[in-house]
Amino acid sequence: MKIALIAHDRKKDSLVEFAIAYKDILQQHDLFATGTTGQRIQDEVGLTVTRFRSGPLGGDQQIGSMIANNDMDMVFFFRDPLTAQPHEPDVTALVRLCDVYHIPLATNMGTAEILLKGLQEGFVDWRLIQERRNS
């Protein structure tokens, strides 16, 4: 599975903690992340991550492009709902694309844990079906 990892500045610590806790599961998948988030996960967790630009510089849109091309299976986007984001339209577009293309999306640690446990148990194997990948 291809999994995107994104976090607003005030949520990066939480995403790193999450990645440490679930390293054994995450390392079995292809990980993608926006700039600083991806660097922190590589440095602090030791996971291999394909890094895109930072969110405000187009990283959210790069991940959105993968979603639109049916090339992303799951998104963990730890959002900070209490801080205005200068690139909020990009964030909204990314969330919308997840809805349009039926991509599981977690925006907080609680939902992320449930999705990751579901991934571990095979509850999202429907993403692996080739017909689904090409539609």
CATH number at residue 39: 3.40.50.1380
Looking at this protein, which amino acid is placed at residue 45? V
Q: Is 12 annotated as a binding residue?
A: yes
3 closest CA partner among 124, 91, 85: 124
The residue annotated as part of the active site, out of 24, 60, 71, 125, is 60
Q: Residue 19 burial by CB count (10 A; 0-12/13-18/19+): exposed, middle or buried? A: buried
Cα 41 to chain centroid, rounded: 12
Domain count of the fold of the chain:
1
Q: Is 48 annotated as a binding residue?
A: no
pLDDT band at 126 (very low <50, low <70, confident <90, very high): confident
Q: Where are the beta strands (DSSP E) in 1-135?
A: 2-7, 30-33, 49-51, 74-78, 105-106
Write out the residue range of the structural domain in which residue 115 sits.
Answer: 2-134
Query: What's residue 111's pLDDT?
Result: 96
Query: What's residue 130's pLDDT?
Result: 53
Query: What's residue 122's pLDDT?
Result: 86
pTM of structure = 0.90
Let me know if 60 is a catalytic residue: yes
Q: Is 111 annotated as a binding residue?
A: no
Q: Is 83 annotated as a binding residue?
A: no
pLDDT in tens, 47-97: 999 999 988 888 889 999 999 999 999 999 998 876 767 667 778 899 999
